[in-house]
A and B are shown apart, each in its own frame.
Chain A
Amino acid sequence: QKEVEQDPGPLSVPEGAIVSLNCTYSNSAFQYFMWYRQYSRKGPELLMYTYSSGNKEDGRFTAQVDKSSKYISLFIRDSQPSDSATYLCAMTPLNTGNQFYFGTGTSLTVIP
């Protein structure tokens, strides 16, 4: 079983839709969670990061962590064509290792 599972999509939505991207994980030691956006032929760009459970909002983006279910989500409101990219989730333990664990990414296309 992979440490982090992420549906690869592809996901295609009309402009203005609410997008939900999700990851599940198996290691209960993960405590710090990140979402990256990666445009084609570019490096991953850090979008949001959260510590432990709860919600965090930044503009049109909301990151949600449910540690009891080992499930994290990224919501994009009022999606724009410029949001078309691959979204990677990542997570790391704080005191039991130095590595980061990534999902394989979900490809999103927002259609004008």
Chain B
Amino acid sequence: NAGVTQTPKFRILKIGQSMTLQCTQDMNHNYMYWYRQDPGMGLKLIYYSVGAGITDKGEVPNGYNVSRSTTEDFPLRLELAAPSQTSVYFCASSRRGGSSYEQYFGPGTRLTVT
């Protein structure tokens, strides 16, 4: 049981390039989330999904896109990367049901845009 996995661990992008951050969970959780974490700013929600085929915007969705074709995978797409997207990105998942509402995080992707 690997939990939440993310690839890549690190990436450097040039301004205007695009990339996809991958996220997979093996806990059969319906709910998945993407956050970014900037120093001293806490975790900010980018997008989330309540199940395959259903996604919704969070607090800071501009410049990002997501899709959820399976329960396991929730990739985050960055189009036309900008320096403001330099951050650490975390994917998380949650069952949100029964007696279990806690959220589990992946190890993160550290992205630099120059």
Contact = CB atoms under 8 A, between A and B. Distances in A.
A43 B58 CA distance: 20
B104 A46 contact: yes
A98 B42 CA distance: 19
B102 A34 contact: yes
Interface in B61-110: 90, 92, 94, 96, 99, 101-108, 110
B103 A34 contact: yes
A43 B40 contact: no
B41 to A, nearest CB: 7
The B interface, classified by DSSP as helix, strand, loop or mixed, is strand
Contacts of B101: 32, 49, 51, 92, 94
> What's the interface size class on B, roughly?
20 to 34
A43 B106 contact: yes
Contacts of A104: 40-42
Contacts of A99: 45, 48, 58
Interface string A1-28: 0000000100000000000000000000
Given A8-B40, A88-B43, A104-B40, A98 B105 contact: no
Interface residues of A, number: 23
B34 interface: no
B28 to A, nearest CB: 17
B42 A105 contact: yes
B102 A42 contact: no
Interface string B26-65: 0000010100000011110100101000000010000000
Interface of B: 31, 33, 40-43, 45, 48, 50, 58, 90, 92, 94, 96, 99, 101-108, 110
